[in-house]
């Protein structure tokens, strides 16, 4: 921190320069521990992947394969990894593949990094054991991280307070409702001091490539990326792109602005007339454009958007149905239930019960 203090002192000469340096230093501090304070001759960095039943094989493979490739291309063991479960028993992925694992308590104390790997939502009864294990790991010097939906377990363990984090876009509404005080973004991955969270899928590869680049240089990271035809290494500035965003990319600007306003006001829905006034359209103009491009009136589309948010919350969280109704702008649980039944053919409770659990 001596270097940082010197920079801060020198930049006080000009207020503007000081403000810039302060922001830059915060950025450096958020990323500082990615190197984990180890020299390159201290042996391989040890990584433990704590597996939860129903984990995503795509996320796990995308995290491990860049490490394997880095070792091969470097001609040295830069990274060493271990698959672990709470009890040492095999863990089944969401695709039914059984993965042999070691007992977590036997391996985590020597780890430089501990990543918990999620996928399907855990049954609530299984969560306390993972929370306790993560708290034990956090008391060591290890960097703690998550892949895909496992950010939820880090949050339950109280390990994300004051940290930037991320989670898969499909789980984001439920997560932010359950943990409104956490700094959760829609980024592909977040690295903040001794926390690394990833939205899952091949974003895990981007996060590991970032790790390799920071610890062993850009050349090796690019060579690893090329092994997987990964043409562009995405960074912490890159956002996730869910299917809704992709579908809206080609829409007229006015409709996109209207949809952005609707998304920003799910809990307290706006009047369609007010949205039209804000984007410079009459209600009739909006209706014509929505019907032409989205095959729905603005009002119906707004309800569908709120129903999608309710669906995500019912699927990926244990938030009570009454709270889901409030968070998605429905007047009461019964009001929400009528729309859910109309859209999905079942009640909110039945919809939640129908979701697979590991």
Confidence of residue 6 (pLDDT cuts 50, 70, 90): very low
Q: How many of the other CB atoms lie within 10 Å of CB of 176?
A: 17
Q: What digits encode the pLDDT tens for the residues 181-235?
A: 999 998 999 999 999 999 999 899 999 999 999 999 999 999 999 999 988 888 8
Could you tell me the CA-to-CA distances from 221 to 213, 214, 216, 355 in Å, in that order?
5, 9, 8, 38
The pair of three-digit structure tokens given for residue 221, joined into one six-digit string: 């990271």
Judgement on whether residues 155 and 261 belong to the same structural domain of the protein:
no
User: From CA 93, how far away is CA 200, in angstroms rounded?
Assistant: 14
Judgement on whether residues 15 and 88 belong to the same structural domain of the protein:
no
Mean pLDDT calculated for residue range 127-131: 95
pLDDT score of 198: 94
Report the percentage of the chain scoring pLDDT > 70: 85
pLDDT score of 27: 46
pLDDT score of 30: 53
pLDDT score of 357: 57
Whether 154 maps to a domain, the answer reads yes
Judgement on whether residues 223 and 294 belong to the same structural domain of the protein:
no
Report the percentage of the chain scoring pLDDT > 90: 59
Whether 251 maps to a domain, the answer reads yes
Judgement on whether residues 262 and 331 belong to the same structural domain of the protein:
yes
Residues of the domain holding 10:
1-35
Mean pLDDT calculated for residue range 152-159: 96
Provide the number of structural domains found in the chain: 3
* List of long-range contacts for 325-332, beta carbons under 8 Å, 24+ apart: 326/267, 327/177, 327/266, 327/267, 328/266, 328/267, 329/265, 329/266, 329/267, 329/268, 329/269, 330/306
pTM of the model: 0.71
Judgement on whether residues 115 and 255 belong to the same structural domain of the protein:
no
Whether 236 maps to a domain, the answer reads no
Judgement on whether residues 50 and 177 belong to the same structural domain of the protein:
yes
Q: Where residue 334 sits, what CATH number does that domain have?
A: 1.10.10.60
Of residues 237 and 249, more confidence is placed in: 237
Judgement on whether residues 11 and 77 belong to the same structural domain of the protein:
no
Tell me the residue length of the chain. 358
Give the closest residue to 201 by CA, choosing from 58, 12, 81, 315. 58
């Amino acid at each position: 921190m001596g270097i940082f203090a010197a920079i801060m002192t020198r930049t006080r000469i000009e207020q503007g320069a000081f403000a810039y340096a302060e922001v830059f230093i915060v950025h450096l501090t958020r990323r500082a521990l990615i190197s984990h304070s180890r020299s390159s001759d201290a042996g391989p960095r040890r990584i433990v992947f704590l597996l939860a039943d129903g984990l995503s094989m795509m996320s796990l493979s995308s995290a491990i394969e860049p490490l394997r490739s880095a070792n091969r291309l470097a001609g040295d063991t830069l990274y060493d990894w271990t698959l672990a479960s709470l009890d040492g028993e095999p863990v089944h992925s969401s695709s039914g593949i059984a993965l042999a694992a070691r007992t977590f308590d036997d391996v985590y104390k020597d780890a430089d990094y501990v990543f918990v790997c999620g996928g399907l939502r855990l049954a609530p009864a299984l969560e306390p054991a993972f929370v306790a294990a993560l708290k034990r790991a956090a008391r060591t010097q290890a960097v703690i991280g998550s892949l895909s939906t496992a950010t939820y377990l880090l949050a339950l363990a109280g390990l994300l307070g004051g940290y930037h984090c991320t989670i898969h876009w499909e789980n984001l509404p439920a997560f932010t409702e359950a943990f409104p005080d956490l700094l959760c973004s829609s980024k592909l991955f977040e690295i903040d001091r001794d926390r690394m969270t990833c939205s899952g899928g091949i974003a895990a590869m981007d996060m590991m490539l970032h790790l390799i680049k920071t610890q062993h240089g850009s050349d090796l990271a690019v060579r690893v990326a090329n092994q997987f035809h990964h043409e562009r290494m995405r960074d912490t500035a890159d956002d996730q792109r869910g299917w809704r965003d992709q579908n809206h990319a080609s829409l007229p600007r006015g409709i996109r602005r209207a949809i952005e306003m609707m998304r920003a006001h799910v809990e307290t829905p706006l009047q369609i007339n007010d949205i039209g006034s804000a984007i410079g359209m009459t209600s009739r103009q909006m209706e014509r454009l929505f019907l032409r491009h989205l095959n729905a009136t603005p009002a119906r589309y707004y309800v569908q958007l709120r129903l999608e948010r309710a669906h995500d919350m019912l699927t990926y969280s244990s938030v009570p149905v009454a709270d889901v109704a409030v968070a998605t702008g429905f007047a009461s649980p019964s009001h929400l239930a009528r729309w859910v039944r109309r859209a999905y053919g079942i009640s909110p409770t039945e919809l939640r019960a129908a979701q697979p659990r590991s």
